[in-house]
A and B are shown apart, each in its own frame.
Chain A
Amino acid sequence: MTALAHDREALLEQGAPALLRQMIRVRRFEEKCVELYSATKIRGFLHLCIGEEAVAVGVISSLGPGDAVVSTYREHGHALARGVPMEAVMAEMFGKATGCSHGRGGSMHLFDADLRFYGGNAIVGGGMPPSVGMALADRMNDRTDVTACIFGEGAMAEGEFHESANLAALWHLPVLFVCENNRYAMGTALAREHAETDLTARAASYGMVAWAVDGMDVLAVQEATRRALALVRGGGGPCFLELRTYRFRAHSMYDPDRYRDKAEVERWRESDPIPRLTAALVAQAAVTDDEVSAWEAEIAREIDAAVEAAEAAPLEPVADLTRFVTSERTAP
């Protein structure tokens, strides 16, 4: 894969160094999760986005503070990019009271209402209908916020995608459909689950603007997201982005990864978004190796602090088990 064709000025103007740092932060966090899972500090299902950081960072860094993010069970990177504090994410995976979901959600269900980060949905396609509803409420109230609905290509085989795409387009709602196409729905390859693998064409058939982007290039993702957001925010109805990416690790910690060729994984590793952008930035003298090393050290400290805080945090009291089943205000 060739280096990104951007000159120094363009890279700086696009905020490329900050994007790189964010991607490294997500990558290192995920790597720490692997370690903690092996040490049985984190349990349940754990889905990592290693390889897909350009999607998380490129899309979410482009959103405004009033925009909403509805995500999937592979959402650590989305949450971190959105600004959910790393300590709260880590504590959630430890099942602690200081977790962003008070230990009720775990890895797959990270929420932060103040940041308009709505999970964390582990039903494939399940976040799409509520995304349409949030956009509907925004339109009914003449707000210009956009709801970014992130899902994998596997979700496009679900009825909820088709119902939601149709409804959003029919009602001309401000939804940005973000298809994070990592080519495998758990272990089932794209061509083994979709009769028509041109996902963009299928989305476009609902009457919305749709295009495909190199999801391993954070700058391309950012640029596409900004263009799409401008369209959606400007009243152009929903938009669909297919971000072509790849997960380097297995689907979850339970997955023996028997369904794909190791050589294929290695080929995709050549377009790893992090070394790719690092090389471009260093080549253009937009960052130095020393700066990158300094970021690595800062990130390592941040992660260590998050782990330490999660270890030390209290457990949610068992007496509070049934809290939050209904609101803590009595019905009339």
Chain B
Amino acid sequence: MTTTSARPPAAASSAAATTTYREALREAHREALRRDPRVFLMGEDVARYGGSFAVSLGLVEEFGEERIRDTPLSESAFTGAGIGAALRGMRPIVEIMTVNFSLLALDQILNNAATLLHMSGGQLAVPLVIRMTTGGGRQLAAQHSHSLEGWYAHIPGLRVLAPATLEDARGMLWPALQDPDPVLIFEHGSLYPLKGSLPDPPPEVDIAHAAVRRPGTDVTLVAYGGGLGKTLEAAELLAAEGIGAEVIDLRVLRPLDDETLLSSLAKTHRAVVVDEAWRSGSLAAEVSARLSEKGFYDLDAPVERVCGAEVPLPYAAHLEQAALPQPEGIAAAARRAVRGDG
């Protein structure tokens, strides 16, 4: 995938520094740990190992083992411990190695984190941030590669974020920690090495809105997380054919920012939703339904969806790539929507 096009054009800044998505996340942690003594990080191998994906590399040396806390392989216990610590006034960040592993903590995330506030009649808010890796493309096979963030986006009481750019990797953590309710942050595994530059100081970002990453007038391409880069590539392919695609990065998977989606649709009258997750019952299905329900009279063509194939993700590279959305497939869907000939 392209590495720099997944960002909006950076404002000219003499202080811009070259960094990566991984380093931007690390810097976000460093900032949060410095700014708020209630913040601490816990998860499997976050301290001495430096984080499974090296996000927290070096943090234990700087902040110590009390605040950068290695846990046993007990996803339910350490996620639930994050809930308890949040209830008791801390601002924990829980790192779960992958979304597939998070299913071991699903009881805590759904039945406690997302539920306690309502079930207690407003008494127990859970200001917890849970980060995890999601997505395929790295030949990690079917128990490390799925995109289950749509399941979490189904749950009332959670805010679900998918940083796809360096700005969001750097900027989303702090506002997530200010949210009085649980926030889940999904980091697509293919994004960690993403390179680019960030202004200094880094821009503040919100955790409430979708963003237009590329303006266009002919078709709206909706993507998020690891799908954004591929979708921007597809937009390049389409531009060469004279089709102006507007690319929207959802950023926030729950609650969805209908307004940004619908105002783009009102301009382009056509939409393609890109989602690496399985098509049936997916986040793409939800976005597509909202566009149809609320933007029906703006639509000049059926909403297209480009999703992951409905198989457990296989190991072999050619099979895995065939199972995931690719720029060519996204462009083809856009052509169908625009010209009916994709």
Contact = CB atoms under 8 A, between A and B. Distances in A.
Contacts of B119: 101, 104-105, 109, 111, 119-120
Interface in B167-181: 175, 178-181
Interface string B134-145: 000000000000
Given A133-B88, A140-B90, A326-B157, 8 more contacts: A68-B88, A104-B120, A105-B121, A133-B84, A163-B77, A326-B180, A327-B125, A331-B207
Given A118-B124, A133-B87, A331-B159, A167 B77 contact: yes
Contacts of A109: 119-120
A154 interface: no
A163 B125 contact: no
A192 interface: no
Interface in A172-211: none
Interface string A120-135: 1101001011111111
B120 A166 contact: no
A137 B88 contact: yes
A267 interface: no
Contacts of B80: 126, 128-130, 132-133, 160, 164
A331 B118 contact: no
Interface string A138-160: 10110000010000000000011
B81 A324 contact: no
Contacts of B111: 121, 123, 126
B3 interface: no
A332 B175 contact: yes
Contacts of B208: 331-332
A329 interface: yes
Contacts, number: 160
B81 A126 contact: no
A258 interface: no
A229 interface: no
A130 B84 contact: yes
Contact of A167 (B40, B81, B88): B81
A69 B108 CA distance: 18
Interface in B215-232: none
A267 B220 CA distance: 73
Contacts of A136: 81, 84-85, 90
Interface residues of B, number: 46
B207 A134 contact: no
Contact of B180 (A132, A166, A329): A329
17 contacts: A103-B121, A104-B120, A104-B121, A105-B119, A113-B123, A120-B119, A130-B84, A130-B87, A132-B81, A133-B88, A147-B84, A167-B81, A324-B121, A331-B207, A332-B206, A332-B207, A332-B208
A167 B66 CA distance: 14
Max count, chain A CB within 10 A of own CB: residue among B40, B124, B159: B124
Max count, chain B CB within 10 A of own CB: residue among A102, A121, A132: A132
A325 interface: yes
B90 A129 contact: no
Nearest to B66: A140
Contact of B123 (A112, A132, A163, A325): A112
Nearest to B178: A332
Nearest to A130: B84
B112 A138 contact: no
B120 to A, nearest CB: 4
Contact of B77 (A102, A103, A132): A132
Nearest to A110: B120
A175 B140 CA distance: 38
